[in-house]
Structure 1
Amino acid sequence: MPEVVMYATQSCPYCNMAKRLLDSKGVEYKVIDVGGNPDLWQEMEAKTGRNTVPQIFIGEHHVGGYDDLSAADRRGEIDPLLQA
């Protein structure tokens, strides 16, 4: 299974929803807490071109935020990425 990485903050409800979705699939993931850390936030923006959290990567594939993750899951696209 490829590494799953989520840029998040502790107070973000969308981050928590993304965690719950990944937890429901039994996925282990690494959370990079960008809250209060401008350097990590800039790193996230540079990698994704976005300035909102969460930002989720499965391997090298940038899934996007929670809405993107949820929509991709409904389309059946997340499980194949996790098994790649």
Structure 2
Amino acid sequence: MEKVTIYGKPQCPYCDMAVTLCEQRGFDFEYIDIQARGMGIAELHEIVGKPVRTVPQILVGTTHIGGYTDFYAYVNNQGN
């Protein structure tokens, strides 16, 4: 699988679950704390290519997958 990028924030259980899933599966991933980087929702919208209102927002390579539930389904459909 291509590198996974997780855009999240502290105290977000779904962000934590996405990180754990990547760790358990041995994926190459990067977690980006949007609060620590001072990113706003408009910047996240630009990155993923559509309006979003929640975190995490997850990309595989340059493909926007969605939130944790979408990512979990994507991973399980890849046969990993």
Structure 1 segments of 4 or more deviating over 4 A?
Answer: none
TM-score, normalised via structure 1 length: 0.76
Q: Which moved more, 1:1-10 or 1:62-71?
A: 1-10
Higher helix share: 1
Residue 31 of structure 1 aligns to a residue in which SS? strand
Query: d(CA) in 2 for partners of 1:14 and 1:40?
Result: 19
Aligned residues with identical type, % of pairs: 34
Gaps of 5+ in 1: 80-84
Instruction: List per-residue Cα deviations over 1:24-58 (Å, max 9, x = no partner).
Output: 11112111111262x35422122332121001111
Number of equivalent positions: 77
Q: Tell whether the 8 Å contact from 1:72 to 1:78 is kept in structure 2 after alignment.
A: no
C-alpha separation between the residues in 2 aligned to 1:2 and 1:44? 20
CA separation in 1, counterparts of 2:31 and 2:63? 16
TM-score, with structure 2 as normaliser: 0.79
Deviations 1:4-27 (A, max 9, x none): 211010110000011111111111
User: 1:14 and 1:54 mapped to 2: Cα distance?
Assistant: 7
Q: Which residue of 2 aligns with 1:62?
A: 64
Alignment of 1:38-57 (within 5 A): 39-48=39-48, 49-57=51-59
